[in-house]
Amino acid sequence: MKIHIPTPLRQYVDRQATVTVEAATVGQALHALTNGHPELKKHLYSEEGKLRAFVNVYLNDEDIRYLAAREETPVKDSDSLSIIPSIAGGRLDSLQKD
């Protein structure tokens, strides 16, 4: 299945916009993605292995947190996963003018 990588995280997957993985569940797909790209893993998961609060993952148009089986949800090749991080748009470091 295809996993869509948002612009801010593409630097950790050799600048690819989508990564294709072989997986039977949402969890396996994410595992396959982060195993192949360990730098990305740090940005998606906390040290305790929880998905970070400023990143959401959608199976097609549905947030995986709201799927009945969550990460155990089975996936087909035609499904897609999207990683949607929060974006603010401009200055992130300070509110004061640079």
Partner 1 sequence: MATMTEGPVTALPSLSNEEIARYSRHLLLPEVGMEGQQKLKAARVLCVGTGGLGSPMAFYLAAAGIGTLGLVDFDVVDSSNLQRQIIHSTKDVGRLKIDSAEEKLLALNPYMKIVKYNTLLSSANALEIFKDFDIVADGTDNFPTRYLVNDACVLSGKPNVYGSIFRFEGQASIFATEEGPCYRCLYPEPPPPGLVPSCAEGGVLGILPGLVGVMQATEVIKLILGQGEPLIGRLLLVDSLNMRFRELKLRKNPDCPACGTHPTVTELIDYEQFCGIPPAVQPGAALINGVPQISVTEFKQQRDAGKDYFLLDVREPHEFKIANLGGYLIPLGEIQKRVSELDTSREIVVHCKMGGRSQQAAEALQKLGFKKVQNLAGGIQAWSEKVDPAVPRY
CB 59 within 8 A of CB 31: no
If one asks whether residue 49 binds partner 1 (CB under 8 A), the answer comes out as: no
**H-run or E-run covering 4:** strand 2-4
Piece in contact with partner 1 (CB under 8 A), picked from 26-34, 70-78, 86-94: 86-94
Q: Does 61 bind partner 1 (CB under 8 A)?
A: yes
Select from 2-10, 19-27, 29-37, 71-79 the region that touches partner 1 (CB under 8 A).
Answer: 2-10
Residues that bind partner 1 (CB under 8 A): 6-8, 11-12, 17, 39, 43, 52-54, 56, 58, 61-63, 66, 82, 84-98
